[in-house]
């Protein structure tokens, strides 16, 4: 998860990450989708990230024939994808879902570190206490 966090930070620092309200399109037409991406200054290669609950058939059909464009779910986004594509465009729901995933990972990691410190402290205490036998 650290690599994913770093890849996202790099995209933000380079100004290559965009968040849109949604990817709603009225029709599953590649031409309409290309026009929308051009308005967002998408560039040659673009990674589209959508939340699995919001993935529509129109989005899938409209984006699948675009050269240099890949659509992935927020639960499947990989650091390599973020680095490989020039631009990354996230829906608002996708970035929020990814943030929640990253927060959970940090919480688990900090909890594990705290538990490890407590266990080490208990071991040190046992060594310092005299044996009662």
User: Domain 2-108 belongs to what architecture?
Assistant: 3-Layer(aba) Sandwich (3.40)
Q: What is the pLDDT along the chain (133 residues), one digit of tens a residue?
A: 788 888 988 999 999 999 999 888 778 888 888 888 888 888 889 999 998 777 788 888 888 889 999 999 988 999 999 999 999 999 999 999 888 888 876 656 666 667 777 777 777 667 666 655 5
pTM for this prediction: 0.75
Domain limits, the chain: 2-108
Q: What is the pLDDT of residue 75?
A: 87
DSSP lists the bridge partners of residue 71 as 48
Q: What is the pLDDT of residue 32?
A: 85
């Amino acid at each position: 998860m650290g690599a994913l966090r770093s890849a996202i930070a790099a995209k933000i620092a380079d100004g290559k990450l965009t968040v849109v309200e949604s990817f709603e399109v009225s029709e599953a037409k590649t031409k309409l989708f290309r026009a929308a991406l051009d308005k967002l200054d998408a560039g040659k290669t673009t990674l589209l990230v959508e939340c699995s609950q919001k993935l529509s058939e129109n989005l899938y059909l409209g984006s699948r024939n675009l050269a240099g464009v890949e659509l992935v779910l927020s639960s499947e986004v990989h650091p390599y994808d973020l680095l490989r594509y020039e631009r990354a465009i996230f829906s608002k729901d996708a970035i929020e879902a990814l943030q929640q995933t990253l927060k959970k990972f940090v919480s688990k990691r900090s909890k594990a570190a705290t538990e490890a410190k407590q266990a080490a402290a208990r071991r040190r205490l046992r060594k310092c206490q005299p044996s009662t036998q």
